[in-house]
Structure formats: structure tokens, C-alpha cells
Amino acid sequence: MPTTRRALLVLVGVLAAVVLTGTSCSDDDDGSAAELCEVLASGRSFGTLFEGGLDPTDTDRALEQLRVAQVDLQQLRDAAPSEARDDLEAELDYVDALVEVLERVDPDDPAAVVAEVNGLAAQRREVEAAARDLAAFEAERC
């Protein structure tokens, strides 16, 4: 379970590091640094979404949290310029993978849930790198 807790803390940290609004979207497919910075400056964060943590063995609650995160990440990705979009896509792919795992695994088998979440380690490492890149983008461009 420590690996799972660490994985979930990374996810919560990554998601909390990305500040979002619920209504920003781009009229074009390209997005812009200005639009992304506006979304980032809005002050809404995943921090409140995951205040109580993310427990994948509580699949109903975790799925609810992750589905909200999917929507927010999609909106942020749509606001992003191409140089930041790949990092946001990596984060969204990870959240999508977590949702798929939690929808597929028997919620009454916590060991199976933990094993499946731990199976996303490579993708989790990509998300960690993407979060660092996004933080650098924000520091440099916003």
C-alpha cells in the first residue's frame, strides 16, 4: 500500500499544482499562452477536489473526483498553446487510465485495485515530468 499511497499523493500533487477555471475554453484549436495563463491565474485548483485525498479502494468517490478532474484538464488543455498541450495530454491520459482501472476492477477487491493502480507506474513518471514542465511553463510565461 505505501507505493499506492505515494502514487496517489503524486497524482494529487500534480493535480493540485494545476490551477483551473471551470468555464475557460478556446475558440480555436491552438490555444495560447495568454489564455492558459488566464486560466492558471483564476485561483481554482484541484486542491479542493482532492482535499480528503484520493483513495482508489473507495472506487465510487475516487471515480467522482477523477471524472471532475478529467473535465477540468480537458478545459485546460483546450486553453493551452501547443508547447504545453502535450504535458496536459499526459496528465489527462493518466487520469483517464485511472478511471479505466477503477471502472474495470472489482471494487470489493482492494488488493486488485491497488495492483492495477501500481501498474500505472510508467505513466505516473510521465505525469511527474509533465507537471514539472507545466510549472516551468507557468513560471516563464505567466
85-132 tens-digit pLDDT: 999 999 999 999 999 999 999 999 999 999 999 999 999 999 999 999
Model confidence at 6: pLDDT above 90: no
Instruction: Look at residue 37 in the predicted model and tell me its pLDDT.
Output: 86
Instruction: Look at residue 63 in the predicted model and tell me its pLDDT.
Output: 96
Instruction: Look at residue 123 in the predicted model and tell me its pLDDT.
Output: 93
Of residues 51 and 137, the one with the higher pLDDT is 137
* Domain membership flag for residue 11: no
Instruction: Look at residue 21 in the predicted model and tell me its pLDDT.
Output: 31
* Domain membership flag for residue 14: no
CA-based nearest residue to 21, from 81, 74, 82, 61: 74
| DSSP label of 107 | T
Model confidence at 5: pLDDT above 60: no
Model confidence at 39: pLDDT above 70: yes
* Domain membership flag for residue 36: yes
* Domain membership flag for residue 116: yes
Instruction: Look at residue 42 in the predicted model and tell me its pLDDT.
Output: 74
Instruction: Look at residue 44 in the predicted model and tell me its pLDDT.
Output: 57
Instruction: Look at residue 40 in the predicted model and tell me its pLDDT.
Output: 76
Report how many domains make up the chain.
1
> Is residue 45 classed as helix, strand or coil in its secondary structure?
strand
Q: Where are the alpha helices (DSSP H) in the chain?
A: 2-17, 33-40, 46-49, 59-79, 82-104, 110-118, 121-141
* Domain membership flag for residue 8: no
User: How many whole angstroms separate alpha carbon 109 and alpha carbon 15?
Assistant: 26
* Domain membership flag for residue 74: yes
* Domain membership flag for residue 18: no
Of residues 49 and 23, the one with the higher pLDDT is 49
> Over the stretch 51-87, which tens digit does the pLDDT of each residue have?
678 899 999 999 999 999 998 888 889 889 999 999 9
Q: Domain limits at 96? A: 30-46+57-141
* Domain membership flag for residue 98: yes
Instruction: Look at residue 48 in the predicted model and tell me its pLDDT.
Output: 63
